[in-house]
Structure 1
């Protein structure tokens, strides 16, 4: 753990001491439900005994760089701002969700609210460590005020006429008075004869006012009220399984493009690469942590009638088919979504470098959780694109299964991968391959969101 900053607390900062002193409780809540990359955004505060100073620490390794006011730093801050805002939104929604389910006390809910608000205070400083933002100073100070638009200041050449304004207002008032008070008198004088009309002159007959026919607005019938119902009937609800790759290739950062990762991976196979360079290519957010954030973000959008299965793929320890490297974590109902999130967050990437992933075995386990004959079945494979490590052919497995499971579909999210060994699984089942290059958790969330459109909540309105 390294120290990033040291603050001397002033009287104006005392309101934030309660929040800082309870950070351990806040961190415990966040780590139970959110991936480490979200929690790492907040530097850990350590307040001294008399509450006069606070030091800020992080578990991230690397050279920290404080983003200042230079143009380059401001450009970098603009690039990471969406990531910071996304993390704050995730914590906000987690607070609402847990509070609604009675899993947080009102005091704990207030702490999470103060944490999100504290990340927007004017004492916040942002450090970059291996392209990962870490905030110090949160919870202190005051919220940054929104900029107020400033009206244009008149030039000296145009100021000379301002003294005329009171006179113009007075003149306008006199004109209004003359109009509203004199007009009735004029009208009254106009209808009083000044002298008797001549005898041989017939008086003018007063013309009766012409009544205009009343025009009734056409009657418009109110549109019938829409009646909406859920599109998905529980007994006919589609089924879904997430096959989550946790092989060693998922340690690669998403901050680097496909070509650079491919070149580095080839070097790693044939030569000794310095540990510092390896750590840099494994820095967060990596494929694994970003996938966890993305999946947890879209779980709430999955229709509540749909149960979700979870299969974890790890790197093969050997190439023997009998050695299991795929784990079936079970099927989770809508009421167990929080448990599913915890299970996803607890998964860890394998350290060993055996090439490939147990895709064949993982698909076998996923197929036991879905029907695909009478009910729609979606298998979502989140992967780094590598092939099967037991040298079995997963494409042949799906080719056989699709003959008796016509409603089976496999969608693949391939994260910045130069390989396409599993593309056949999607093409054989009429599924889709989502392999657009991403460099942030937000972009990966959007990609996975597209891959699960068919099982998200929908309504039919009649």
Structure 2
């Protein structure tokens, strides 16, 4: 725990309410959300102090470079989205007081009181009204387009993934449309015998997802060998755990995928539980997507990498023989639980030929590429598809709307 700053004057009323608000957030979310708000305390001299459990040197927003500012605001918006969804849920449960307390926290960041601590956003003096920014100030608010704040490689990957998903999911409908006689202009005939494809997502929630996307295999080895003695090389630890973290990138990417998913497609999600049985969270339809996004934001990276078992669990829940299916895997490395994921992928290819697996490599290594290679899927990483995705982004929307007759 470290003190970030303190107020000049004596403490005033309202400390208990602030503490209670933090308690509400902590009750429903992992520390990553609650740690957005510095903890208020009354110092020995009566002044209010602001503390945090985040480790690292606090830096004011204005001291950061443009790219660091954008990344910090992106993480801030993620936390805000989680609070919005929780406030709505609490209101629906009849907990109006708690919902009202959370809604008072929702709004643009007060940049004069926003810090970066090891790449994570931290607000101090958040119980007070934000200072009004004069009109002549730099137009920071106009940069709130969320896609600008994502890691630079994430946009092209998502655009290309959306295109391929539209082509894959829409192909049965598009093929029938191309070979059918047109009835009349702007008419569309849907074939009830054509089943929509199945979609499952496997999200790596292993301990290595706590590391930076820039961390190497050697960094991973060092990290796990020194978990009990992190002070051995604090500079090395800070470098391999700085933002953007793999888990944050995966959450952003998957959330954007849910938002962009065609309304007719339901999504199953499977996550790791160490080397134990993977967690199948079930299938989510269009109406359940807000709950799905909230659940994604609450996931915590920890324990082993049950890559093979999770792939098997996702495939087992799908047809892949009489019905098309796609599994999208967000992973950062190879299986860490003693199984051969390449053999699993080869078996799926034999037994479920209409099921393919696309791999999004968060860590940019090739240890699990055999999954996509065996099933006819694709591998996406930080180093490919950037120019192609931008050119085809608009085309993917056209294919999707034509294929579904919307």
Tell me the alpha carbon deviations over residues 377-417 of structure 1, each in whole angstroms, 9 at most, x when there is no partner: 1212111122454243x333333333443331211111124
Match of 1:384 in 2: 332
Tell me, in whole angstroms, the C-alpha distance in 1 between the residues paired with 2:343 and 2:249.
30
* Contact residue 411 and residue 431 of structure 1 kept, 8 A: yes
Q: 1:238 to 1:68 in 2, by over 3 A?
A: closer
Q: Does 1:57 align with 2:51?
A: yes
* Contact residue 36 and residue 79 of structure 2 kept, 8 A: no
Q: Structure 1 length normalisation: TM-score?
A: 0.59
Tell me the alpha carbon deviations over residues 100-126 of structure 1, each in whole angstroms, 9 at most, x when there is no partner: 66537665555444323363265x142
Q: Does 1:413 align with 2:406?
A: no
Tell me the alpha carbon deviations over residues 305-347 of structure 1, each in whole angstroms, 9 at most, x when there is no partner: 433323233554xxxxxxxx34132413335445545654565
Tell me the alpha carbon deviations over residues 335-364 of structure 1, each in whole angstroms, 9 at most, x when there is no partner: 544554565456544457xxxx33222222
Q: Does 1:308 align with 2:267?
A: yes
Tell me, in whole angstroms, the C-alpha distance in 1 between the residues paired with 2:204 and 2:226.
26
Q: How many residues align?
A: 343
Q: 1:81 to 1:114 in 2, by over 3 A?
A: farther
Between Structure 1 and Structure 2, whose CA radius of gyration is higher? 1
Match of 1:241 in 2: 200
Match of 1:39 in 2: 34
Write the mapping of 1:157-236 to structure 2, written as runs, cut at 5 A.
236=195
Tell me, in whole angstroms, the C-alpha distance in 1 between the residues paired with 2:68 and 2:193.
41
Tell me, in whole angstroms, the C-alpha distance in 2 between the residues paired with 1:147 and 1:231.
54
* Contact residue 379 and residue 410 of structure 1 kept, 8 A: yes
Match of 1:329 in 2: 280
How far is 1:59 from its partner? Answer: 1.2
Tell me, in whole angstroms, the C-alpha distance in 1 between the residues paired with 2:189 and 2:330.
28
Q: Does 1:367 align with 2:315?
A: yes
How far is 1:236 from its partner? Answer: 2.5
Q: Does 1:103 align with 2:92?
A: yes
For structure 2, list consecutive stretches of 5 or more residues without a partner in the other structure: 138-184
Match of 1:215 in 2: none
Match of 2:210 in 1: 251
How far is 1:371 from its partner? Answer: 1.5
Match of 1:4 in 2: 4
Tell me the alpha carbon deviations over residues 243-273 of structure 1, each in whole angstroms, 9 at most, x when there is no partner: 222333223223xx25xx2333455688999
Q: Does 1:291 align with 2:250?
A: yes
Alignment root-mean-square deviation, CA: 4.6
Q: Structure 2 length normalisation: TM-score?
A: 0.66
> 3-state SS of the aligned residue for 1:402?
helix
Match of 1:120 in 2: 110
> 3-state SS of the aligned residue for 1:61?
coil
Tell me, in whole angstroms, the C-alpha distance in 1 between the residues paired with 2:8 and 2:191.
58
Tell me the alpha carbon deviations over residues 285-320 of structure 1, each in whole angstroms, 9 at most, x when there is no partner: 53234433543454343344433323233554xxxx
> 3-state SS of the aligned residue for 1:117?
coil
How far is 1:98 from its partner? Answer: 5.5
Q: 1:21 to 1:408 in 2, by over 3 A?
A: same
For structure 1, list consecutive stretches of 5 or more residues without a partner in the other structure: 150-225, 317-324
Match of 1:222 in 2: none
Match 2:59 to one of 51, 66, 91: 66
Q: Does 1:431 align with 2:390?
A: no
Match of 2:119 in 1: 131
How far is 1:230 from its partner? Answer: 12
Q: 1:363 to 1:86 in 2, by over 3 A?
A: same
> 3-state SS of the aligned residue for 1:411?
strand
Q: Does 1:262 align with 2:257?
A: no
> 3-state SS of the aligned residue for 1:115?
coil
